[in-house]
Each structure stands twice: as structure tokens, then as C-alpha cells.
Structure 1
Amino acid sequence: MNYFNVQKSNKSSYPTTFAYLISASKGDSGKLKRVLRALYHPGNYYLIHLDYGAPAAEHREVAKYVTRDPVFSQVGNVWIVEKPNLVTYRGPTMLATTLHAMAILLRTCKWDWFINLSASDYPLVTQDDLIHAFSDLPRNLNFIQHSSRLGWKLNKRAKPIIMDPGLYSRNKSELWWVIKQRTLPTAFKLYTGSAWTILSRSFAEYSIVGWDNLPRTLLLYYTNFVSSPEGYFQTLTCNSKDYTNTTVNHDLRYITWDTPPKQHPRSLGLKDYRGIVLSNRPFARKFKKNDRVLDKIDRQLLKRHHRHFTFGGWCSGSSGEMHNSCSALQSENYGVLRPGPGARRLKTLLTRILSERNFRRQQCR
């Protein structure tokens, strides 16, 4: 990992802290820079992974963007993976990249939750909103959308055997499919769900260190599994006696699909804005580069001006007015939160999904 920013803040005056992995691939540099600016907060940590397959010019562009930003340099909480992985779509290299990022962030800094996002994602609440809404939650909760009803995935995901050349080759290629199929496991129960999660620090440590052998066993199994990020963490939590009761069956993302569903979710646009707001979710995906709905989200939900940061107490003037430009760190305001309507919307969602009626009944069945 490249430590561009060496003067990391040692302050811990925010009630909760998030560590982000933002993944990007070839052609994503523009989207990556925009989502990083929209997500940025001095109390959090940000690790960028730009796929090895992206052109060298894009890697240099992203590196310059991070190193030359005065706020990133002052706070020192934005990093880039120095030796990126070659990521194959639907292959275990996607999962390997996530585990790699978790290991780096566990060793580098203190945080409460790990969030994986792509350059095609976007926040729907300010980071002040997110920090405030999560501040009263138990720190062991894991937001992992999961189900043991695999349905069509039994034959299309669980039984096929694949090989990902990205594990051993620097040349980009498709997955290799083995003709022979395998039977379903009997040593553990399979679960499936969303690849987008919010994981507790404790569970992240378990996934990396693995004080029993389950994380390693499942990692070996999912090495030959199609779309392993949609099953690994689900199967791990639900088969672990220590974490099975920590799962919130929700990924906290707003995602829409065609009918019948295609391989990828629909790209969101202006016509989706009302649904985006009413969902009360903190993130949405996926968006095309500079779609007009992103401008509307910036104006109305994030109070973010063009090329500036999202509104927050850390960068606002003394008046705290939301129309103030957020372009630089006001060091005297470090630790100040100014949550807005987004915090209330998110708390409404969290209250519902964490209610006794929903929380226990939807865990690992």
C-alpha cells in the first residue's frame, strides 16, 4: 500500500468510524474521484483499489488526485493499494481484493465498520448523517443480506467449478469452466446474498485471522465458486456460532433490477430519485458517469457543491449553514457533527430492520 499521507490524524473524537474500500476498474477514474469526494470525511478511512488491468495513465491520474489534494494530505486518511490485483468479473479475485483491503485497514487504523463500494456507487446521506445514525448501534452488527434459499443458484453457482486465471496470471481473461460438477457441501450450509456489505471490525478480524478454521475452509471452497462475493461472507457468518446472531439481513443499498433480472442491476436515473429518497438507504448503485441524478443528489441530499466535499460539521463555517461551501478542513471543528434529514431517514430504516420483529426472525435460516 502506498502511504501518500504520512501525518495521519490521531484524533478519535467522532462517535463511530468507517473504513471504506472503493474499487474501480478501467475507465472508472472520473467516477472514482467524484464518489471519493462525496464520501470523504476526516473521521473515516479510505482505501482505493484500481484494478491492475487499468491503464498506467489512469493509475497515475488517481495517484496525483490523492497526493495533490490539500485536505487528503492534511488529514492523511486516503490511501491507494500500491500493488493492485487483477480482478476478474464473477471470479474469486473480487473476494481476494476485499479481504486484502480488510487486512490492510485492520493493520493501519482503528475503525468500527468496513464498507465496500465501487466507483459506480454513490452516497445518499452525508457522512455526518451516517456517523450519527450508527453511533448508538452495537458495534458487533454485520449488515449482510443473506438467504439459504439458493433457488436457481444451486445449479448455476454452487455446482459448477470454475478457475479464475486472475489468481495466477497478469493477463486478463475470462473464467475457465470445468466440465465436471460437484455435489453440495455437507460440512457447512450455503447462503447467498448481496456482495455489498457493512462488516464489523470484530467480524473482519475473524475473516482475516480466523481463530477457528472456518474462514480458511470456506475461502478454499469459494475459490472455485461463481460470484464468490455473493456467498462467502453470508456462509461464514451463518455457519459461525460467534457471529450467526450478529447478522442484519439488509445491505443498506438501493438497487433496482429489470424484470426478469439481468446480470447487472439497472443504472439509476432521474426517474428513480423519488424511490431513492423514500428507501431511506445510505447508498445506491449503480450510476453512469456524471448522470444528472447525481447532481440532484448532491444538491438536495448531500448539500454538496461542484468539486467540493459533502456538507459536514468538520468543514462548515461558524454559522453551520448548509449552503456554506465545504472545500477545506476547519481544524477547530474536528469532531463536530451536523446531521440533517438524511440521519432521520436512515434512523427510520435502522429502527425498522433492527426491531425485534425483523432482526431475529430474519437471521440465518
Structure 2
Amino acid sequence: MKRFHNPPNRKCSPPLAAVAIAAVLLVLILIFSQPKTSINSSPINRTSEPPEPPRFAYFISGTRGDGRRLKRLLQALYHPRNYYLVHLDLEASESERIELAKYAKSEAVMRAFRNVMVVGKGNIVISKGPTVMASTLHAVAILLKQARRWDWFVNLGASDYPLMPQDDILHVFSYLPRDLNFIEHSSDFGWKEHQRARPIIIDPGLYHSKKSGVFWAKEKRSLPASFKLFTGSEWVVLSRPFLEFCIWGWDNLPRTLLMYYTNFLSSSEGYFHTVACNHKDFQNTTVNKDLRYMEWDDPPKEQPTNLTTAHFDSMARSGAPFAHKIPEDDSVLDRIDRELLKRRDGEIAPGGWCLGSKNDDRRCRVYGSADDIRPTGLCSKRLEKLVVQLLDPQSFRSRQCK
């Protein structure tokens, strides 16, 4: 990865502006200091001083033909506080990659805050192979090096889309411990034991620059005895401390597991999960949810159902900040833009940092403090409700690394 648009060396952090609703998730106190106490009242304390908003590091990835989709996704996700690394894999054309880089440099607010990076040379990524995991870890390493301050890493693909403004997500996450890892996981492999854990595969993308399917070895392997395998969703929201451990690991566990998962089918559905659940420092930081809205067939197939306008109400009510997966140019994207994000076609989704009038053609060209977080209310309440349910002391601990 040679060419990308660098984030600033300076901090963009003017004094914290007042937010419209000051909320404290008291459930966190119940969880971490009084785990046996039940929640009988609202978790909102509207008189407390709001903490500093977090920063997200987004890894947005796609392949050939996804350039236009990634541009739209970037516009829907953009916020001056966050960092964005956009990656089109080796299959994508050079022109697509250049167009994305040009857009990041030409959009006034992105140029001013310098928080969007576009990878200049794409990695080869083979579906179900460990090159997916390698590309993600490479992205994490770049973000750790190039972006000085961020709290959570989020991976998104071309078929993903946000279901609420960034202000709402930042507002709710302001009250969460910065070491929580939202990662759907289980040690119950079921059918995956014989189709994922025991087979040995070779990903040619690790050795060649030409994309092809993975190769299967004739031999099978037994389950490991020195660590316990976990599996789950490849879509994650991971904390910076955990990812620093995965990249710079102060013991050998991340490297040992990385070697093991080199020959593992769909390693992106198990590597982070197994690292977190096999280390005492991170076992109790896992929240068993990937924060994505998905629909599955019954019985479920390998991939979730395509989301359409028929799913809009369920998506909006779910409280999930992201949806997976939506077909290209489906009309539900326009409805999400219009009703949830308040985003006009071709524009960046507005937030409290935008100072232009709602009637302006480009209202976010005039901007103020990146710390001015103004949640819409309804979306943040839905996300808050979801988080409170996930952190309910009656079920939170029992769903960790089981």
C-alpha cells in the first residue's frame, strides 16, 4: 500500500461543545461494579456532563466495480472526528482507485480535515481465504500508524450502509468503556467443525498476484488442544487496545493464531473471536453482537438475505447502526438517506458540525467544531436501547466467550 491521502499531524479538537441531550448509561456501572443488580429505571441521567466523543476508524473495502458504491458509503459515513481508509482490491481498475482518491482530495471538508485515506495499490483478496483477514490486519496497522487518535475500528463492505447519522453513534458510544469489543461469537461450531475447522485450505493469494479460488488439501486436522476455537460474524466493532494487542502483541497468542488461521476457511469469521476469547485481558470485554442488521433465510444460508424497502421499518427500529447487505442502487438506500440520514444525493450526511442552512445546496461546506455532536434523538434512543439490552447484567456476562 503505497499511496494514500494522509490524515493530519495536528489534533482537530476544539473545546467540547454542549450537546442537546446529556445521557449517562448507568447500566455500565451496574455491570462493572454491581453485576447482580437489575435495571429498574431509565439508564439516562440527563443532568450529567457529557464525556468527550470517541473517534471511529472505518475500513471500507470493495472490489472491481464498487468504486461508486464506496463513494456513496463514504459520504453517508463521513464525520470530521473519524478516520476512513478506503480500499479497492487488486481486481479493481486503476481508474476506479484514482477516481476515489480524486474525490477525497476534491471534497472541501475532507481536504480540510485530512482524515480520508485511499489505498494506492490494492491487496489481492480471495473470498473465504485468509487474504481477507490479511487485508483487514494490514488496514488496522495503517490506521494505527497514520491516525493518531481513535477508539474503535469498524469494517464495512460495499453492500453495507449506515442506518443512523454519525452524531447519534458518537453520542451513544461516548458513554461506553473504550475497551468494549462488539464481536458476535460462539464456541459451538455445529456444521462448521467439519466444513471450516477440520479442512486445510491454501489461499493462492498469499503466493500469487492472480485471483483464483482456494485449494483444498486431502488431509483433515483435529481441533487444537492449546486454545479453544470460536466462530462468528466477520463484521466487527473492535477497540483500539485489543487491536494493538493483535498487531503488536505482548505475548505470542496473536501470532500463533495467525499461523493457525492461515489454512482456515473463512478465517475472518474466527481469528479476532479466538484471540479475544483465549486471552484473560480481553475475555471480559466482548459484547456478543456485531451491530449489523441482517435478515436470514430459514434455514439460514451462508449469506444473509438481500435487504430491500420491505425491510426498512425493521431496520430502522432495530437500533443497529449498520445494515448488511443491500444490493447496489436499491431504492431502500434512497429511503435511508432521506428519512434516517437526512442526506441529499451526492452530499455528505449532515451533522452538528455543519453550519450551512438546511436549504443550502452544499450545507456542510460551511463547518464548525468536529466536537459539536447533535444526535437526532430517535436514532440515538434506538441505539441506546439496543446497547442497554446487550449490557444487561442478567445476560451480559453469560454470553461472553461461551
- Shorter-chain TM-score category? over 0.9
- Inter-CA distance 2–197: structure 2 relative to 1 (3 Å threshold): same
Paired positions, count: 362
Alpha-carbon deviation of 1:47?
A: 0.2
Q: Quick check: 1:252–1:283 contact (8 Å CA) kept in 2?
A: yes
Q: How does 1:1-365 map to 2 (within 5 A)?
A: 1-5=2-6, 7=8, 10-13=11-14, 15-109=53-147, 110-317=149-356, 327-340=363-376, 341-365=378-402
Using the aligned pairs only, state the percent identity.
51
Q: Is the 8 Å Cα contact of residues 142 and 199 (structure 1) preserved in structure 2?
A: yes
Q: Which amino acid aligns with 1:338?
A: R
2:17 — aligned with what?
none
Amino acid at match of 1:95: M
Mapped to 1, the partners of 2:9 and 2:347 lie a distance apart of 22
User: In the TM superposition, what is the alpha-carbon distance from 1:57 to its structure 2 partner?
Assistant: 2.1
Contact 2:354 2:368 in 1 (8 A): no
| Paired residue secondary structure (2:368) | helix
Q: How far 1:2 sits from its partner (Å)?
A: 2.5
Amino acid at match of 2:312: Y
For residue 315 of structure 1, report the CA deviation from its aligned partner.
1.1
Letter in 2 for 1:355: D
**In the TM superposition, what whole-angstrom CA distance separates every residue of 1:264-308 from its partner, at most 9, and x where no partner exists?**
211100000011012110000111112100111111111111111
**1:363 counterpart letter in structure 2:** Q
Q: What is the CA–CA distance in structure 2 between the aligned matches of 1:357 and 1:173, rounded to whole Å?
A: 47
Letter in 2 for 1:230: E
Q: Which moved more, 1:216-225 or 1:55-64?
A: 55-64
Checking the alignment, whether the CA contact within 8 Å between 2:204 and 2:215 is kept in structure 1 is: yes
CA contact (8 A) 1:7 1:74 kept: no
Contact (CA 8 Å) 1:5, 1:73: kept in 2 or not?
A: no
**What is the TM-score normalised by the length of structure 1?**
0.96
Q: Distance between the aligned counterparts of 1:178 and 1:350, measured in 2? A: 43
Distance across 1 between alignment mates of 2:3 and 2:114: 12
- Kindly provide the amino acid, as one letter, of the partner of residue 133 in structure 2: L
What one-letter code is carried by the residue in structure 1 that aligns with 2:106?
R
Q: Deviations along 1:305-342, whole A, 9 cap, x unmatched?
A: 11111120111437xx6x76664343433321110121
Residue 260 of structure 1 deviates from its aligned partner by: 2.4
Question: Given the superposition, is the C-alpha separation of residues 145 and 6 from structure 1 closer, same or farther in structure 2, using an over 3 Å criterion?
Answer: closer
- Compute the RMSD of aligned alpha carbons: 1.5
**Amino acid of the structure 1 residue aligned with 2:114:** G
CA distance in 1, matches of 2:253, 2:8: 38
Q: How big is each residue's C-alpha offset from its partner over 1:13-33, in whole Å with a ceiling of 9 and x where there is no partner?
A: 552100000011111111111
SS in 2 for 1:333: coil
Cα distance in 1 for partners of 2:62, 2:269 equals: 18
Q: Would the aligned equivalents of 2:129 and 2:264 in 1 still touch at CA under 8 Å?
A: yes
Alpha-carbon deviation of 1:142?
Answer: 0.3
1:211 CA displacement = 0.5
Gapped regions of structure 1 (runs ≥ 5):
none
Whole-Å separation in 1 of the counterparts to 2:270 and 2:63: 22
Q: Which letter does structure 1 place at the counterpart of 2:85?
A: L
- Check 1:205–1:7 CA distance in 2 against 1; reply closer, same or farther (3 A cut): closer
Query: Helix, strand or coil for the counterpart of 1:161?
Result: strand
CA distance in 1, matches of 2:134, 2:363: 35
Normalising by the residue count of structure 2, what TM-score does the alignment of the two structures yield?
0.87
SS of the counterpart of 1:178? strand
**Secondary structure class of the residue paired with 1:306:** coil
* Contact map agreement 1:20 1:45 (CA 8 A) in 2: yes
> Unaligned 5+ residue runs, structure 2?
15-51
In the alignment, the residues of structure 2 paired with residue 167 and residue 291 of structure 1 have an alpha-carbon distance, to the nearest angstrom, of: 35
Give, in angstroms, the shift of residue 63 of structure 1.
2.0
* Displacement after TM superposition at 1:192 (Å): 0.4
SS of aligned partner of 1:356: coil
CA distance in 1, matches of 2:167, 2:100: 26
